[in-house]
Every structure is written in structure tokens, then in C-alpha cells.
Structure 1
Amino acid sequence: MKRTFILFLIIFILPFICLGINPDREYILKPDAIGLDYKEMIINAGNATLKAWIIDPKTDTQKNTTIILAYPDAGNMSYFTYHASIFASHGYRVVTFDYRGFGESSDFEVERMNLYHDEFIEDLTSVVDKVSQTYKTDRIGIWGLSMGAVVAVQAYEQTKDHVDFMILEGLVTDIKVHASRLKQAKDVEINLPTDFQSYPQRLRTIDIPVIVFAGTEDTLTTTQDAIALSEEMKNMEVITYEGGHLRGFQAWEPQDFGQGYLARVTEFTQSF
């Protein structure tokens, strides 16, 4: 019953609370609760320490590929344990971590109405550095969701020597436009980062393979945005699905949570 409730929470509620930074300090599901082998790691990020979980591939068909999850602006990494299990069960190593102020990472005073904090960029950069040192023969990808996708873009300059590809969903292509949409649709005003005007150009400097998942019913990060960007960036592939913001994992076959998503990621990672 508890697992059913947690899966319900993850699938149906999480996409709708990502309208302001909303950390959760309590873990709702650790990997070993669903039979995953994992290790805990503490990663230094400037003056902060981050809690991370390393979830090793569950099958013998290891892909020598590590995926680092940069999740959205609510919850903590435990909200994505089921998501991680899908990849781990098909040969991927998955690294999840908590930004400072989330889960069991260092205390941090979060400004709820920020789009993100610059410190989250430092957090992701530090995780990439540690993972690249630990798994030197693996290809490394960042899986960025909504706020996590923005953070991944902003961190690219610092991580590009170690990151081989990106998987992005709920991708903001223009921060000012995104803020306007939030105001109009949800009556939410976010604090714009100081460098928001440079973000579109930073996005276009990414020169590694990128796959973007975009929902046809997502009015905040639209399929039109993603497709228009992909016409400029030939290294970008767009996968559209029927559904709203961050609903990609349940978009194809609801009874097979994440399998359609996994299949498209695997096709993508095998293409380069």
C-alpha cells in the first residue's frame, strides 16, 4: 500500500507542485526499499556538502554509461527512485543527489520564488567532477528536469569536459518568456536571475548530443519552443509526447512506467 501511494505521489502530484522552489528534507523512498543496490556518497561543493546515491546497473548488460539526475524544484532525490530504477534495470548507472537545502544535503536558505539558485549550479558541477573522477571509463550524461534542465544548461561551461550528452525535459528556452508564462497561467512571479539575458546564448553553445522531451499539453515549456530550438541546434533531437509538464515518464504505456521513455533514451545514446 505504501509503495502504491508513493508511486501515485510521484506520477500524479509532483509535476504540479514545481511552481516555486519547495525542498523536502524527508526521504520517501530509498533505493534498497525496491531492491536496488546503491551506495551513499558525500560530495563537497564549495562550503556545502551534498548527499548522493550511486545506483549501480541491475543487469549484467552494463552500458558503461552513468546518468546524473538534476531534478526539478520540489521534493528531493527520493521522489525519483522509481525513475532511477528503470534506467538501472537496463544497464545504466544512475547518480542522484540533493541540492543544498534539499534532503540530507547542507542547510541552505532557499528563496522560494527564485527560478533557481546559483549555488545549485555549483552543486551540479561538483557532482559531475566527482562522478567523472570515480567512473573514468563511463560516458556521462546529465538528465535535467525543468529547473534541473536550466541548471544543467548554466553549468555546461564548467562541466563540458566531462559530460558526453544531455537528456532534458521541461526545457526553458528563454527565461524571460518563461516568467511571463508563469505569471499569465499561474499568477506566479519568479525572481529573474541576474544573468537571465545570456541564457539563450548559453543554451546554444552546448555542442554535445542533446535529447529533449516535450509535452504537447505543456504550456510553460512548449513543444514549439523545443522544435524551434532544434532547428538551430543540429545536435538536438526532440521527442514529443502527449501530456503536460514533466509527464514524459508516464506518456507512452501507463502500465509500464518509464519503459517508453527508456526506449527513446536508449536509441538516443546508441546513436553516437
Structure 2
Amino acid sequence: MKFTIILIASLLFVSNAYSLKPDTTAYLITPSRYGLMYKEYKVKTKDGYTLNAWFCPAQTAPSIDSLFGEGAKEPLQRPYVIDNAKRPTIIICNGDAGNMYPNVSLAYRYCQYGFNVITFDWRGFGQSQYFPINTDYLVYPEFITDYNAIVDFAKQIPIVDSNRIGVFGYSTGAFLSFAIASQRPEIKAIVARGIFTDYKSVTPGLQKLVPKRTLFCPEGMDKYSPRNNWSTFRKPIFLVVGEKDIRTPKENSIEILSNVKSNVRELWIVEKAEHGSDKAPEIVEHELFIKKTVCFFKDNL
């Protein structure tokens, strides 16, 4: 219960955005706050931008009570001491708002189950290099370039088993994670929460939610969409969606799983959950979310 409360508190700083809403202020939380040893990297993209990324190796971390219980103090950064064993790695992909710091809560859990974890910020987000963001845009095609750079970076880390890389993304990050999993053979499995079939279908619904704004999607983004790639998609896939999600309704996930060619395909519609913040599926059913996603990645990486 205490862990869930802490996770909610961090995620409440990330709004239910209907378009891009980057946060470039200092990170409110780093992996050190969760007692994780980690390294911060500056990752170069092919078009010359620098992305900020955190790499957390698989490890045993202190208990949540010792970190956040009564009288707990900010922990000191742990020395980065690891063995040379190659392990499966999960790349956690952010959505369209905030920055990567809320994902540390998930990294804390996954690292303790034997996974390395990578989190990162898109260009123009967090401490990644400045990039002009039009906040009426739903996405930028440059984010595909960013994601490819992170996959390339992951393969260069000695303790990453490059044959066992999985991705987890939510909302816009779910769309982009599906795109990367479609393109990159190194990605062996995907968990996507709050995914949608394509921008052409989702944009009218989002526009109705914010009628006073004009939302814009760059031309050509739907070539990366699940709809345009599901006929050739054969990797293990696990989709999670809130029962009451009105931004990316469950029908999107049902349609995607009905059309991909994967031998392993799972769907979990989380009762009473919505799209994000404190009503996100990973908050409403946090412990079950961890259990299900860990089992999926262990079985398929």
C-alpha cells in the first residue's frame, strides 16, 4: 500500500495531456531516491541530438519502508558495482508529458526481478537536448530517431543481453514502442498500455475532449502505426488498457490483438481504470500489474 501511495504521488506530477507537454525542470526523483545504483548517460542520435538516459542494472534494492518510512532520509547514491553477467533488459518509454522520473518507480520493481532497466527522455524533454516543441502537436517523427538511438545504446552496454531486450510504453510511448518493435529485430517482446490503432482514428476523439485547441499530427506518422504494421507483427505482445479509458479506448487494443500475427498475445482490461495519472492501470492494480508484466517478460525474453 505504501509503495502505491508513493507511486501515485510521483505520477500526479504528470498530467493527462492531450498533446505534448514536456517538463524540462530538474528531476523530482532520480533512481538514487529508490536506493538504486545507476548510471546517467548522454546518448547521441543519428541527427546529432543528445538524449538523457538512466541505466539501472538488475539489483537488490532497499525496502520501500526503509526509503520512505517514518524518519527515512534521502539515501546516498550507491556505488556502481556490478558483475559481468548479461541479463535481459527492459526499455521503459515515456508518454507525451512530463519526463522520465516517474518511471523510476517501475524500474525499482523490475530491477529486483533480474532485469536491467533503461529510462530516457525524448529530445526537448527532461534533461535531453533542447528541441522546439509545439504543444499542440501529438507527436514528432523525430521521436522514432530517438528511440532507435536508445536501442543502439542498449546493445552497447556490456551487461545487456542484446538477444533479450523488451520494451514497455504507455499512451504515445505505447504507439512508439510498437513502431520500434516492428522495425527492430533486437526487440523480442512488448508491453503496451493505452495503445491506439493509428493517429487518423484517435485524433478526432482527442479533439472532442479539448475542442478549444487544434491538435496536429505530422504527416506520415501513421506509417509507424499498429494498423499499418500488424499484418507482419509476430512478436510476443501484451496490451493493457483501462476499462474506462476514453483517450485510447479498449476497442483499440482489441482490434490490434485481433490482427497481429503473434503466437503470444495477451490483453488485460483493468476494471475501473482510466488512461493516466492516479487512475492509470499500473496504479489502480499496481501489484497485479507488476506480477503480470514480470511474468510476461520472463516468459518471452
What TM-score, normalized by structure 2, do the two folds share?
0.80
Corresponding position: 1:51 with 2:52: yes
| 1:140/1:113 CA distance change after superposition, 3 Å | same
What letter is aligned with 1:245? Answer: H
Displacement of 1:48 = 0.3
Q: Secondary structure at the match of 1:96?
A: strand
Percent identity between the aligned chains? 27
User: What is the 5 A alignment of 1:1-272?
Assistant: 7-12=7-12, 14=14, 16-25=15-24, 26-45=26-45, 46-59=47-60, 64-134=87-157, 135-137=160-162, 139-158=164-183, 160-187=184-211, 188-198=213-223, 199=225, 200-235=227-262, 236-242=265-271, 243-246=273-276, 247-252=280-285, 258-272=286-300
The CA deviation string for residues 169-225 of structure 1, in whole angstroms up to 9 with x for no partner, is 110112112101111233253212211453321244332111110110001211122
Q: Secondary structure at the match of 2:146?
A: helix
Q: Which runs of 5+ in 2 are unaligned?
A: 62-84
Counterparts of 1:107 and 1:13 in 2: how far apart (Å)? 21
Which has the greater radius of gyration?
2
Counterparts of 2:175 and 2:140 in 1: how far apart (Å)? 11
The CA deviation string for residues 41-96 of structure 1, in whole angstroms up to 9 with x for no partner, is 11110210111100112239x99221111110111111221122121122211100
Q: Secondary structure at the match of 2:17?
A: coil
Counterparts of 2:284 and 2:230 in 1: how far apart (Å)? 26
Deviates more, 1:208-217 or 1:62-71: 62-71
Runs (4 or more) in structure 1 with deviation over 6 Å come to 3-6
Which residue in the other structure is 1:255 paired with?
none
What TM-score, normalized by structure 1, do the two folds share?
0.88
Q: Secondary structure at the match of 1:271?
A: helix
What letter is aligned with 1:183? Answer: Q
Q: How many residue pairs get matched?
A: 262
Q: Secondary structure at the match of 1:164?
A: strand
**Is the 8 Å Cα contact of residues 214 and 241 (structure 1) preserved in structure 2?**
yes
Q: Which runs of 5+ in 1 are unaligned?
A: 253-257
